[in-house]
Amino acid sequence: MEGRQLKIKIGKFLLLGALISYSLVSFIPFFWSISTSFKTESEVFLNHLLPQHLNTDAYVHIATKITPTLYTLFFNSLFIAVVVVILHLILGSTAGYAFARLRFPGRDILFYMVLATMMIPDQLRVVPVYILLVKMGLISAHPSNYLAIFLLKAVGALDIFLFRQYFLNIPKELEDAARIDGAGPIQMFTKIMLPNALPIIATVSILTFQGSWNDLFWPSIILQAPNHWTLPFGILEFQGQFQTDWPPMMALVVLSTLPILLIYLFAQKFIINMQLGSAVKQ
Amino acid sequence: MTTQTQVAHKPVTKTRRSRNLKEYVTGWSFVAAPMSLFAVLSIGILFYAIYISRYDWGLLGARKYLGWQNFSDSFKDPVFLKAIRNSLLYAALVVPLQTALGLTLALLVNSKIKGSNFFRATFYFPSMASSAAITTLFILLMTPDGLFNKILHFFGVNIGNLFNQGQWLSDSRTALYSVIMLNAWTTSGTMMLFYLANLQGIDGTYEEVAKTDGANRWQILRYITLPLLKPAHFFVITTGMIGALQLYDQAILAGGADGSPNYSLMTMVLYIYNACFRQFKFGYGAAIGLELFVLIFSLTLAQRFLFGSRAWKGDN
């Protein structure tokens, strides 16, 4: 009995050791970016864990000396992400509702089509999409360049799938009551379905926001004028310019990750649970 | 009697019919916008890609019909062959690594230990940050004077005697492997969540029965848990592979558009980027895109075949 208990204790100890070491692996790089952003350039490769003084020069540098400005990069990332989230919510919820709750000819074939688009990688679409956008006059330094991004990112197959799944699980009785009161399909959607769909609305919003905020591929191909660049695109471009000037680069990395970190801190439990939820449904 | 039922019946059919029609129209109009976007930008665009791929298609000027020449030309370019090799090697290594790491993390976190929620959150965080931010940070960590070499030094490794002198990303022999390490780390969090979801769906009675039959922990894992996770293996490996073959962000961030040094970070997607946006050979780029699609599609089908069709549907 004694030996068995000892064995369990050792096992727990080893498990805890493994967990703590891997959390260091997950955590230290981020800590390092914050720490480096407060160092001076000459201090960087002394590789001290903490800066000698809390030096904010790097933040002043990226706030005042980069073109496009930090404000521009933030604004573009935020503007694009917010518009894309709104488009995803509108198109995802309405289509998800129609596929889940309405009967109309062609419904199942169309839904299979939605699923099939998930199989087509973005990188295959890049060439024909780009040429199409050129022909539409949307590849330019003009603000209509944003439209190209919105058009490409307006709709997500995964959102339609998630909304449909969610609406399928809302009890039919709720609808029946409304139907007796004479509600049509549109009232049913706005009065019954949407008010009950807050968790999935939050899920889709967070996933879409994160996806748009972090995206490098499409912006780096589509956005032409520097004053339309997003943060990840800015990071890509500055990397060549800054070379070894690491503190400002890390300040940019820290600031661009901050919104995602904040969302993560406030909605961490929720994000993990919803990711678990959507994973199960797949 | 008959007239009565008819009279009672008729208005019902009428309202039902108009209600049905109303439902049809609402249904169609609710799916109209997303379906037309899909029809043009996802499905129609594939046919457009096939069309473009058969031309010498520059940004301006006359187009020349080439037939299949873009496709045959691609296999004569040593840089493209290198890109295929890099993409396949990358996928062949990163997929098993991220899968094994994700599964291990999921099994560790799934145990009833104090603070497992905290660990779960910490392990997932690298998957949330942007590739641009993480790769830039990674480049700093991997520079010759950076933290990674400092840690190696701490453990007694003489950096100067290493075959690459600690130049992890700027030596063509180690650049791709460094990116593999980076991405195994960043994607393992997502893989962990997929495995966790499936682990939590496993009926505990299987393990109980095995325990009373005298099975030890290893046997339970080997003969009960891992086989029950088959749908998760399929999902994680397939999505992992599709993602891996599309490697672009980390390659262009760490190696620039040429995938430097010496094309060691040139991938198929980066090659498409170069063909189109630096050489303006759009027909050629479209042909490479189609080749990539055929590769991804056939590997996905092969995996589906390998795992059996039941894993595909997600039931066990």
| pLDDT over threshold 50, residue B50 | yes
Q: Are residues B31 and B93 in the same domain?
A: no
Q: A2 falls in which pLDDT band (50, 70, 90)?
A: low
Nearest to B249 among A30, A216, A239 (CB): A216
Shortest alpha-carbon distance between residue A135 and chain B (Å):
11
| pLDDT over threshold 50, residue B313 | no
Task: Single out the residue of B106, B121, B110, B109 nearest to residue A265, CA to CA.
Answer: B121
Pairwise CB contact (< 8 Å): A249 & B136: yes
Task: Single out the residue of B245, B225, B222 nearest to residue B297, CA to CA.
Answer: B245
Cβ proximity of B270 and B259 under 8 Å: yes
Task: Single out the residue of B230, B243, B245 nearest to residue B306, CA to CA.
Answer: B230
Number of structural domains found in chain B: 2
Residue B60 inside a domain? The answer is no
Q: Is the minimum CB–CB distance between B79 and chain A shorter than 8 Å?
A: no
**Angstrom distance (rounded) from CA B270 to CA A123:** 10
Residue B234 makes CB contacts below 8 A (sequence gap 6+) with B303, B304, B307, B311, B312
Contacts 24+ apart (CB under 8 A), B68-71: B70/B283, B70/B284, B70/B286, B70/B287, B71/B287, B71/B290, B71/B291
- The predicted structure's pLDDT at residue A276: 62
Q: Are residues B25 and B165 in the same domain?
A: no
Q: Which residue has the higher pLDDT, A157 or A270?
A: A157
**Angstrom distance (rounded) from CA B301 to CA B313:** 14
Residue B293 inside a domain? The answer is yes
Partners of A160 on chain B (C-beta within 8 Å) are 34
The per-residue pLDDT of chain B, averaged, comes to 88
Q: Residue B236 belongs to what domain range? A: 72-313
pLDDT digits (tens, 9 = 90+) for A161-173: 989 998 998 888 8
Interface-testing mutation among B16, B29, B42, B151, with chain A (most A C-beta atoms within 10 A): B42
| pLDDT over threshold 80, residue B157 | yes
Residue B200 inside a domain? The answer is yes
Partners of A282 on chain B (C-beta within 8 Å) are 235, 314
pLDDT digits (tens, 9 = 90+) for A34-47: 999 999 988 988 88
Pairwise CB contact (< 8 Å): A185 & B26: yes
Q: B14 falls in which pLDDT band (50, 70, 90)?
A: low
- The predicted structure's pLDDT at residue A170: 86
Q: Is the minimum CB–CB distance between A54 and chain B shorter than 8 Å?
A: no
Least confident piece of the model among A157-161, B145-149, B212-216: B212-216
Shortest alpha-carbon distance between residue A24 and chain B (Å):
9
| pLDDT over threshold 70, residue B7 | no
Q: Are residues B200 and B115 in the same domain?
A: yes
**Angstrom distance (rounded) from CA B278 to CA B59:** 11
**Angstrom distance (rounded) from CA B52 to CA B282:** 7
Q: A275 falls in which pLDDT band (50, 70, 90)?
A: low
Q: Which residue has the higher pLDDT, B27 or A244?
A: B27
Q: Are residues B106 and B188 in the same domain?
A: yes
Pairwise CB contact (< 8 Å): B132 & A214: yes
CATH 1.10.3720.10: which residues of chain A?
Answer: 68-242
Which of B46, B62, B81 is the C-terminal boundary of a domain? Answer: B46
Q: Are residues B160 and B263 in the same domain?
A: yes
Q: Is the minimum CB–CB distance between B57 and chain A shorter than 8 Å?
A: yes
Shortest alpha-carbon distance between residue B1 and chain A (Å):
28
Q: Is the minimum CB–CB distance between B308 and chain A shorter than 8 Å?
A: no
Q: Are residues B42 and B166 in the same domain?
A: no
Q: Is the minimum CB–CB distance between A121 and chain B shorter than 8 Å?
A: yes
| pLDDT over threshold 50, residue A181 | yes
Identity at A181, one-letter amino acid code: D
Q: Which residue has the higher pLDDT, B201 or A248?
A: A248
Q: May I ask the CATH class of domain A68-242? A: mainly alpha
Residue B54 inside a domain? The answer is no
Pairwise CB contact (< 8 Å): A102 & B26: yes
Residue B40 inside a domain? The answer is yes
| pLDDT over threshold 80, residue A157 | yes
- The predicted structure's pLDDT at residue B197: 84
Pairwise CB contact (< 8 Å): A91 & B34: yes
Q: Which residue has the higher pLDDT, B109 or A75?
A: A75
Q: Which residue has the higher pLDDT, B10 or B71?
A: B71
pTM of the model: 0.90
ipTM comes to 0.90
